[in-house]
Amino acid sequence: MIATALDRLPAPPCAQLLGWKVLDARPDEGWIRIGFEGRPEFRNPAGFVQGGFLAAMLDDTMGPAVFAATDGALYTASIDMNVSFLKPAKVGPLTGEGQVIQLGKTVAFIEAKLMDADAALVARATSSARLVAAEKAL
Protein backbone atom coordinates (compact mmCIF):
# COMPACT_ATOMS: atom_id res chain seq x y z
CA MET A 1 0.00 0.00 0.00
CA ILE A 2 1.15 3.53 -0.74
CA ALA A 3 1.93 5.93 2.11
CA THR A 4 -0.39 8.93 2.45
CA ALA A 5 -0.72 11.99 4.66
CA LEU A 6 -3.30 9.99 6.65
CA ASP A 7 -0.45 7.86 8.04
CA ARG A 8 0.78 10.89 10.00
CA LEU A 9 -2.41 11.21 12.08
CA PRO A 10 -4.18 8.89 14.50
CA ALA A 11 -7.65 7.85 13.38
CA PRO A 12 -10.32 9.87 15.23
CA PRO A 13 -12.74 8.03 17.55
CA CYS A 14 -15.59 8.10 15.00
CA ALA A 15 -13.35 6.41 12.40
CA GLN A 16 -12.23 3.83 14.97
CA LEU A 17 -15.87 3.05 15.75
CA LEU A 18 -16.50 2.34 12.07
CA GLY A 19 -13.41 0.07 11.81
CA TRP A 20 -11.81 2.57 9.40
CA LYS A 21 -8.50 1.66 7.73
CA VAL A 22 -6.82 2.77 4.52
CA LEU A 23 -6.56 -0.17 2.11
CA ASP A 24 -5.17 1.57 -0.96
CA ALA A 25 -4.71 5.07 -2.32
CA ARG A 26 -3.62 6.97 -5.38
CA PRO A 27 -3.31 10.50 -3.95
CA ASP A 28 -2.13 11.95 -7.25
CA GLU A 29 -5.45 10.80 -8.78
CA GLY A 30 -7.56 11.87 -5.77
CA TRP A 31 -8.64 8.25 -5.18
CA ILE A 32 -8.72 6.19 -1.99
CA ARG A 33 -10.05 2.82 -0.78
CA ILE A 34 -11.10 2.50 2.88
CA GLY A 35 -12.07 -0.63 4.81
CA PHE A 36 -14.88 -0.53 7.38
CA GLU A 37 -16.54 -3.05 9.67
CA GLY A 38 -20.33 -3.21 9.72
CA ARG A 39 -20.71 -4.30 13.35
CA PRO A 40 -23.67 -6.12 14.88
CA GLU A 41 -24.29 -3.03 17.05
CA PHE A 42 -24.97 -1.04 13.84
CA ARG A 43 -28.02 -3.15 12.89
CA ASN A 44 -31.48 -1.68 12.40
CA PRO A 45 -34.66 -3.60 13.40
CA ALA A 46 -34.51 -5.52 10.08
CA GLY A 47 -31.01 -6.79 10.95
CA PHE A 48 -29.09 -4.73 8.36
CA VAL A 49 -26.53 -1.98 8.93
CA GLN A 50 -28.51 1.22 9.60
CA GLY A 51 -28.29 3.83 6.84
CA GLY A 52 -26.78 6.50 9.08
CA PHE A 53 -23.73 4.31 9.64
CA LEU A 54 -23.44 3.72 5.89
CA ALA A 55 -23.62 7.48 5.31
CA ALA A 56 -20.91 8.02 7.93
CA MET A 57 -18.72 5.46 6.13
CA LEU A 58 -19.22 7.26 2.83
CA ASP A 59 -18.40 10.58 4.49
CA ASP A 60 -15.31 9.04 6.07
CA THR A 61 -14.21 7.94 2.60
CA MET A 62 -14.69 11.25 0.79
CA GLY A 63 -12.94 13.52 3.31
CA PRO A 64 -9.81 11.34 3.42
CA ALA A 65 -9.69 11.33 -0.39
CA VAL A 66 -9.23 15.11 -0.29
CA PHE A 67 -6.81 15.01 2.66
CA ALA A 68 -4.61 12.43 0.91
CA ALA A 69 -4.82 14.23 -2.46
CA THR A 70 -3.59 17.47 -0.86
CA ASP A 71 -0.85 15.70 1.14
CA GLY A 72 -2.55 16.69 4.38
CA ALA A 73 -2.91 20.38 3.54
CA LEU A 74 -6.72 20.46 3.46
CA TYR A 75 -9.57 19.07 5.51
CA THR A 76 -13.17 19.08 4.37
CA ALA A 77 -16.27 20.46 6.05
CA SER A 78 -19.37 19.04 4.36
CA ILE A 79 -21.68 21.54 2.74
CA ASP A 80 -24.06 18.89 1.49
CA MET A 81 -24.12 15.16 0.99
CA ASN A 82 -26.52 13.15 -1.15
CA VAL A 83 -26.71 9.43 -0.38
CA SER A 84 -28.41 6.72 -2.41
CA PHE A 85 -29.02 3.42 -0.63
CA LEU A 86 -29.03 0.67 -3.25
CA LYS A 87 -29.00 -2.58 -1.30
CA PRO A 88 -29.24 -3.59 2.37
CA ALA A 89 -25.82 -3.99 3.96
CA LYS A 90 -25.23 -7.07 6.07
CA VAL A 91 -23.00 -7.12 9.12
CA GLY A 92 -19.40 -7.65 8.06
CA PRO A 93 -16.66 -5.96 6.07
CA LEU A 94 -17.54 -3.01 3.85
CA THR A 95 -15.26 -1.16 1.46
CA GLY A 96 -15.49 2.48 0.46
CA GLU A 97 -13.91 4.02 -2.61
CA GLY A 98 -13.64 7.80 -2.73
CA GLN A 99 -12.79 10.07 -5.64
CA VAL A 100 -12.09 13.78 -5.74
CA ILE A 101 -14.05 15.03 -8.75
CA GLN A 102 -12.95 18.65 -8.61
CA LEU A 103 -10.75 20.50 -6.16
CA GLY A 104 -11.30 24.24 -6.23
CA LYS A 105 -9.82 27.00 -4.09
CA THR A 106 -12.55 26.85 -1.43
CA VAL A 107 -14.84 23.95 -2.38
CA ALA A 108 -14.29 20.32 -3.35
CA PHE A 109 -16.69 18.02 -5.17
CA ILE A 110 -16.29 14.42 -4.08
CA GLU A 111 -18.02 11.10 -4.58
CA ALA A 112 -17.84 7.68 -2.97
CA LYS A 113 -19.30 4.22 -3.24
CA LEU A 114 -19.62 1.53 -0.58
CA MET A 115 -19.46 -2.18 -1.37
CA ASP A 116 -20.15 -5.28 0.71
CA ALA A 117 -17.92 -8.36 1.07
CA ASP A 118 -19.22 -9.68 -2.29
CA ALA A 119 -18.26 -6.38 -4.01
CA ALA A 120 -21.97 -5.56 -4.46
CA LEU A 121 -22.72 -1.82 -4.39
CA VAL A 122 -24.76 -1.00 -1.27
CA ALA A 123 -24.66 2.82 -1.30
CA ARG A 124 -23.15 5.78 -3.08
CA ALA A 125 -22.78 9.45 -2.24
CA THR A 126 -21.81 12.79 -3.68
CA SER A 127 -20.72 15.75 -1.62
CA SER A 128 -19.74 19.39 -1.82
CA ALA A 129 -17.29 20.30 0.91
CA ARG A 130 -15.68 23.51 2.08
CA LEU A 131 -11.90 23.26 2.11
CA VAL A 132 -10.24 24.11 5.41
CA ALA A 133 -6.49 24.56 5.82
CA ALA A 134 -5.13 21.83 8.08
CA GLU A 135 -3.42 24.30 10.40
CA LYS A 136 -6.79 25.96 11.07
CA ALA A 137 -8.59 22.65 11.59
CA LEU A 138 -6.22 21.10 14.10
Residue (of 131, 123, 130) closest to 57 by Cα position: 123
| 3-state helix, strand and coil shares in percent for the chain, rounded to the nearest 5 | 30, 45, 30
Per residue in 80-105, pLDDT (tens digit) is: 999 999 999 999 999 999 999 999 99
Q: Does the pLDDT at position 37 exceed 90?
A: yes
The pLDDT value recorded for residue 53 is: 98
Is the pLDDT at 137 greater than 80, yes or no?
A: no
| Predicted pLDDT of residue 90 | 97
Q: Hey, where are the domains in the chain? A: 5-137
In this structure, whether the domain defined by 5-137 belongs to CATH 3.10.129.10 is answered with yes
pTM of the model: 0.95
